[in-house]
Structure 1
Amino acid sequence: MNTNMDVIPRQAALVELNQALDRLLDATELHWWRQALERLAQSPDATTAAMLSSHCKRHLRARSVVGAEGWSCVELARALLLVEVVGLQAPKTRLALLEQLFQWGDDLEKIALLKVLDHLDSDGSCLDLALLAGRTSNPHVFAALALDTPYPARHYPDRAFHQLVLKALGMGLDAARVIGLAQRQSVPLNQLALDLMDEQLAAGRPVASSLPQLIAFDLLSPAQLRRLTGLYQQQRLPAHWREHLAGT
């Protein structure tokens, strides 16, 4: 469980996201946004939140948000609506609300929820929801869960975290963007990474570019290290493996 020390930086980050959105919106958009927040405050329920989320794409122009890297305008507005409605709930009802909104949402709304999940859940109450979301076959939805967010590193048990990383690689995503990966490196993850490498080589596919990010090279057995070195010398591994093997 996380301590209250986590809360301050998360609150500061939310303030920055709200400010970034406010700076981006023109007068017409800002007027609608203020009205949306007022309406949500008056009726802080899943139905109102879902309706306002669907209206975002009609009232806000799609563009990137300066000062909020990785967010689009509509996506950020949807995420901040979630933050607002969750903050208006009694703690015991928050999980049920998020589960309902996730079930109702389309893929773009699911992405917004997953990208802001770490701000909404400091103690891991939404772990089952995150694990359910991780079953998606949509790489964009999965990326929102797996990349550039500390939620899995904070709350996933090792086995689930390992599966998340391997699925990210299988979808062609950059494992280097999985936050907390270095702290989860281990002998079991080494073996899973090597098994995946073997599968890719046997199928004649290129080895995933970010696969070395999964491996704790100082924990490799001598036999594993010799095999990797041999594969590199045979030019069966990408050139950037050299930097990982040179210091072992």
Structure 2
Amino acid sequence: MNMDVTALQPRLAERSRALDQLLDESEKRWWQQALERLRQSPDANTAAVLSSQCKRHLRDQPVPGAAGWNAIELARALLLAHVLGLQHEVARPALLEQLFQFGDDQEKATLLKALDDLDSEGRCLELALLAGRTSNPQVFAALALDTPYASRHYPERAFHQLVLKALGMGLDAARVIGLAQRQGQPLNQLALDLMDEQLAAGRPVSPSLPRLIAFGLLSPPQREHLAGLFQQQRLPTEWREHLFSN
């Protein structure tokens, strides 16, 4: 089978070239040896071993042209892409699940960060839903932030739960891709319920919580409730533009 990364996702080919340009001679030798070893033994065990070796053989440095990726993360993601490219399509979800189970938290986060590139058709939805139950902020952020996978493939209820959990972990909802397209009355009510829970517990309202709310779809009682809280100075001043802009 072809080991060309472009068989899975052209964007990965661009990142692969960026990584090649970054590596020094010693790193390039190891990287080529790693790819050859994976070509000879394209299985989960080999991919997991090589992934664990990335920290020892590659420098931890940002990759120009691959925003948000460092060399170790990108190499691990490319190893995943290469091993998947050597599998029949129907075998890929099970292989990714196996590698997810094998990985440490950093490797799990890398897999989730690259999941939209590795599984553009959403065949690994069950793996993503399982991963979303984690209590590890690094792993959860890789799934929830700066990636369109959840927006493209999650059913409505699961997407809403993902967003609410992100806020509960103190993450920035502005980095949840596709959130605006998922706004509506159900998410409005969930966001207001979360806000009331935070206020009742004496905690500050999550700064990015207004991003969950479609203010134009608020019912009159909901809008009156928010206006009352604002007048009582229980909501941040930033809420004024949402509540009194019309």
Cα distance, 1:24 vs structure 2: 1.5
Q: Distance in 1 between matches of 2:121 and 2:69?
A: 24
TM-score normalised over the length of structure 1: 0.94
1:51-83 deviations in whole A, cap 9, x for unaligned?
100010000011222221111211111011001
Cα offset for 1:233? Answer: 2.1
In structure 2, what is the equivalent of residue 197 of structure 1? 195
Q: Identify the residue that residue 46 of structure 2 maps to in structure 1.
A: 48
Q: What is the aligned partner in structure 2 of residue 31 from structure 1?
A: 29
Aligned partners of 2:187 and 2:136: how far apart in 1?
A: 24
Which of 120, 124, 134 is the equivalent residue of 2:118? 120
Q: Which segments of 5 or more consecutive residues in structure 2 lack a partner in the other structure?
A: 1-5
Quote the Cα distance in structure 1 between the aligned partners of 2:189 and 2:135.
25
Instruction: Give the equivalent residue in structure 1 for 2:176.
Output: 178
2:3 corresponds in structure 1 to none
Aligned ranges 1:38-77 → 2 under 5 Å:
38-77=36-75
Equivalent residue number for residue 136 of structure 1: 134
Deviations for 1:165-184, whole angstroms, at most 9, x for unmatched residues?
00000000001100000000
Paired position in structure 1 for 2:11: 13
Q: CA deviation at 1:247?
A: 2.7
Query: 1:94 Cα deviation (Å)?
Result: 0.7
- Paired residue for 1:3? none
**What residue identity is the alignment partner of 2:151?**
A
Do structure 1's residue 232 and structure 2's residue 230 form an aligned pair? yes
* Distance of 2:244 and 2:40 partners within structure 1: 62
2:163 aligned with 1:165: yes
Q: Check whether the contact 2:9–2:118 (CA below 8 A) recurs between aligned residues.
A: no
The root-mean-square deviation of aligned C-alpha atoms, in Å, is 1.2
Distance in 2 between the 1:99 and 1:131 partners? 12
| In structure 1, distance between residues paired with 2:20 and 2:238 | 42
Cα distance between partner residues in 2 of 1:121 and 1:225 = 41
Letter paired with 2:243: L
The 4+ residue runs of structure 1 with deviation greater than 4 A are none
* Partner AA of 1:108 in structure 2: Q
Q: Does the residue aligned with 2:62 lie in a helix, a strand or coil? A: coil
* Aligned-partner Cα distance in 2 for 1:171–1:102: 22
User: How many residues are treated as equivalent by the alignment?
Assistant: 240
Give the equivalent residue in structure 2 for 1:88: 86
Give the percent of matched residue pairs that are identical in Structure 1 and Structure 2: 73
**Deviation per residue, 1:195-243 (Å, 9 max, x gap):** 0000000011000000001000000001111111221222211121122
Would the aligned equivalents of 2:44 and 2:98 in 1 still touch at CA under 8 Å?
yes
Mapped to 1, the partners of 2:241 and 2:29 lie a distance apart of 53
